Structure 1
Amino acid sequence: MGARLSVVYITKNAGQHFDRSLASVAHIADELLVVDSGSQDDTLMVARSTGARIIERSWPGFAAQRQFAVAAAENPWVLMMDADEILTEAAAKAIRNTFLIGEPAGVAGYLLERRSFFHGKEICYGDWAHDRVLRLFDRRCGAYGESLVHEAWETHGTVEQIPGCALHHYSYANYGELLHKMCLYATLNAQQVHQRGKALHAYMPMTHALAAFWRGYFWRLGFLDGMEGAAIAWTTALGAFMKYAMALELRDCDRQ
């Protein structure tokens, strides 16, 4: 008998790709679980149409919400999905074959390749390329870290990669969404730096911004992605600048 798998989402106004995301995992999920924090669009209607189990819960933060969702799942093996991610057919088949004969032996999780798309094209270079994310895991062997943003599953077991297993990530519809999300992440990152008491200096916003742009646009060849590559590199650099500028601001407020 094969191992059972829970596919888990945390949502709020999931957006235009949610129905396709659910459809991409429906035939490998023994359970579909959606933990929603106050959606005002058709997110819950879309989830109900697939037979997903829905839990409505106020927003405690990214890591805490994901940890709650993992704990609420019925099965020990969990595939954590975002509403703007679509599992490829090849990936679904690979996961199904992996779990067909039972729980994987000696493995606590699997990395999935994540390919990001922006303006209808795949981003092949820069900071978004060659991304590997730990999304398929045994919940008995780890937990989510306490980061305010870019939270990740931390396991104390062996991690492998299933060949050909990829997620397609459709995160931003336009430049406005890209800029809006950068502001959100920069704010959360600044709060995190402040909470951790990291030493800060006045030069850090500029040096981190310049380093981020150089890394993404030149070192990782982001310029080969054209206008989209430039926008991603500039936005990442601006996010780095604002992260440390706001962290300095928070520090100075505490000193007054």
Structure 2
Amino acid sequence: MQREPLSVVVITLNNAATLDACLSGVDWADEIVVLDSGSSDDTLAIAQRRGARVATHAFDEFGPQKQRAIDMASHDWILNLDADEVLSPASRAVIERALTNPQYAGFRLPRRERMFWTVQHPWSWRNTHLRLYDRRRGRMNDVEVHSAMEVDGPVKTLWRADFINDSDPDIASRIERINRYSSALVAHKLRRRQRFTGLRMVVYPPVFFLRQYLFKRYFLNGWAGFIASVVGANYVFLKYAKLHEARRCGHGRPPV
């Protein structure tokens, strides 16, 4: 029995350093769609060399931009990757089996994180993400930064079809990213009217660290796992600290 045809969609902006590895890992797909938002490096040349169908559109938010790329695809089954993510070689066979008469609306894939000078130990906990799905049964949500596909129907995790996130080659890069992300999430949290911000600032960071370092077994990654857990706890703190600041200062405007 033949599998469902598959489109891979990727949004880009100056991703020349990682895009070639990303696209080479999915060169077996029926189609690759790259939606760029104004790259000034070799991103577009790399995408074209890899046989991708390339288009450009000004960037507004992650959710709408990813949805545009999905809408461009020729096939209903979508594999959505970021430009700094690489599918493992063993994932192809797992995905192709899953797409042979699929009984689910989508599939979650486990993600291994780059931890600065190393890659996450395979025995530490890997978060799963809905990246393979039938676009007829869902759309991207509107959560700033952490936008994700939401589908109507059952979802299964393909534990043997993992991918590596290669976004943070060093500590400075991760800290810069969490600073940007925590700022971008303030508007979303204001809309949700999240309560007990002060309590969350105090309680959540140490709880996050313990959960990450001990229960998710980041200690298996040595000092890289310890540092990643501390930086992650700082991200949790910054999200609520910036929300508290926005409320005290009138949504980010200092009081006169």
Q: Taking structure 1 as the reference length, what is the TM-score of the superposition? A: 0.89
The 1:173/1:97 distance shift into structure 2, 3 A limit, reads same
SS of the equivalent of 1:79 reads strand
Q: Do structure 1's residue 166 and structure 2's residue 162 form an aligned pair? A: yes
Q: Do structure 1's residue 177 and structure 2's residue 173 form an aligned pair? A: yes
Deviation by residue 1:108-164 (Cα, 9 ceiling, x = unmatched): 1112122222234232389x8322111110000011111112222111112123452
Q: Do structure 1's residue 24 and structure 2's residue 14 form an aligned pair? A: no
Deviation by residue 1:194-246 (Cα, 9 ceiling, x = unmatched): 22222244343232222222222233332332221121111111111111111
Contact 1:111/1:162, CA 8 A, preserved across alignment: yes
Work out which of the residue numbers 111, 115, 119 in structure 2 matches 1:114: 111
Aligned to 2:126: 130
Supply the AA of the counterpart residue of 2:232: T
The 1:2/1:224 distance shift into structure 2, 3 A limit, reads closer
SS of the equivalent of 2:162 reads strand
SS of the equivalent of 1:239 reads helix
Aligned to 2:8: 7
Supply the AA of the counterpart residue of 2:247: R
SS of the equivalent of 1:199 reads coil
Aligned to 2:203: 207
CA distance in 2, matches of 1:2, 1:212: 40
Contact 1:143/1:155, CA 8 A, preserved across alignment: yes
Q: Do structure 1's residue 79 and structure 2's residue 75 form an aligned pair? A: no
Aligned to 1:36: 36
Contact 1:78/1:139, CA 8 A, preserved across alignment: yes
Supply the AA of the counterpart residue of 1:184: R
CA distance in 1, matches of 2:190, 2:109: 32
Contact 1:118/1:171, CA 8 A, preserved across alignment: no
SS of the equivalent of 1:165 reads coil
CA distance in 1, matches of 2:187, 2:164: 30
Supply the AA of the counterpart residue of 1:25: V
CA distance in 1, matches of 2:202, 2:93: 46
Aligned to 1:70: 70
CA distance in 2, matches of 1:125, 1:188: 31
**Structure 2: which 5+ residue stretches go unaligned?**
none
Deviation by residue 1:78-113 (Cα, 9 ceiling, x = unmatched): 0001111111221112223444x5xx3432111212
Considering only aligned residues, what root-mean-square deviation do their CA atoms show, in Å? 2.1
The 1:119/1:235 distance shift into structure 2, 3 A limit, reads closer
CA distance in 1, matches of 2:130, 2:207: 26
CA distance in 2, matches of 1:107, 1:221: 30
Aligned to 1:157: 153
SS of the equivalent of 1:198 reads coil
**Structure 1: which 5+ residue stretches go unaligned?**
none
Q: Taking structure 2 as the reference length, what is the TM-score of the superposition? A: 0.89
SS of the equivalent of 2:104 reads coil
The 1:65/1:219 distance shift into structure 2, 3 A limit, reads same
* Cα drift, residue 15 of structure 1: 4.2
SS of the equivalent of 1:9 reads strand
Q: How many residues align?
A: 251
The 1:16/1:242 distance shift into structure 2, 3 A limit, reads same
